[in-house]
Structure 1
Amino acid sequence: MIKALLPYLVTNGNGQEVLSFYKQALDAEILHLQTFGDLSDNPENPMPKENNHLILNALVRAGEAEFMLSDNQPGLPFQLGNHITLSIQSDNAEETRWLFDRLKEKGEVIMPLQETPWSSLYGQLIDQFGVCWQLNTLSHHMD
């Protein structure tokens, strides 16, 4: 079952500043915050120490509304227009696959469905109408 459909903001390396601004401006609460520095070291894809402060994933609540935020993946170009996406939060991997398969029809897969440090099944795509989607199976990683 889909648990939430959330706006997802992607920032250009200034996620900590953006998060601080929205926390104050919206009287928001940070429910979850994970930085690139929180990831385990991967010798095949080492992360430079100067990227440790970048936000990998944040969940923010403002009143009764929630949104998510992350910094752009280090090394990838930041593209205006893709800095606001929609994130589907599901509690079932089969449903995530089903939704992903339907949304990707005539679209473009950006990141195939896979296990990540924050999700048991996660993927990104742009649908045939140019809407950017992130599909996330909720798991123990977001507790």
Structure 2
Amino acid sequence: MDIYLHFKNQAAEAIAFYEKVFKTEPAKIMTFGDMPHDDNHPVDESMKDLVMNANLKINDTNVMVSDSPEGMAPPLIVGNNVALVFNAATVEEASEVFQLLAEKGAVLLPLEKTFWAELYGMVKDPYGVNWHINLY
């Protein structure tokens, strides 16, 4: 299980801060500008340098970090900017976990194929906990 932190245009600053505080190796960072070009979903010039995903190791925990620009992610509210990440082993496991978490909860991003994962989705469970479901 991993942890995911979301920021409003401060992810790079937060990453640098956590690297210093926890004396970590430099994070692996992918920006929105690094995404493959998609005519149907162009990336606004103002978002190209924002962090789409970064992996930061703190002790034995993988802490993933991203910015959440408007229109590209659910609205960011302090309190929903932390999520747990479940890395599934199979399509069936990813689908089952996603569906069970979504029952009486809310789908934030449907579970579907992305350019970085076989399946990825975001869901809020009935207790208000945000989850990212991955299948690499």
| 1:11 counterpart = 2:42 | no
Measure how far apart 1:74 and its partner are. 3.6
Percent of aligned positions with the same letter in both sequences?
31
Q: Which of the numbers 39, 46, 66 marks the counterpart of 1:50?
A: 46
More strand per residue: 1 or 2? 1
- Contact 1:15 1:69 survives alignment (8 Å): yes
Structure 1 vs Structure 2 CA RMSD: 1.4
- Map of 2:28 onto structure 1: 32
Measure how far apart 1:64 and its partner are. 2.1
Q: Where has structure 1 moved over 4 Å in runs of 4 or more? A: none
- Contact 1:85 1:134 survives alignment (8 Å): yes
Structure 2: stretches of 5+ with no match in the other structure: none
Aligned positions, number: 134
Q: What TM-score does the superposition give when structure 2 sets the normalisation length? A: 0.91
Counterpart CA distance in 2 for 1:11 and 1:31 is 16
- Contact 1:30 1:58 survives alignment (8 Å): no
Q: Which of the numbers 56, 59, 62 marks the counterpart of 2:58?
A: 62
Counterpart CA distance in 2 for 1:73 and 1:136 is 21
- Map of 1:111 onto structure 2: 109
One-letter identity of the residue aligned with 1:66:
N
Q: What TM-score does the superposition give when structure 1 sets the normalisation length? A: 0.87
Structure 1: stretches of 5+ with no match in the other structure: 139-143
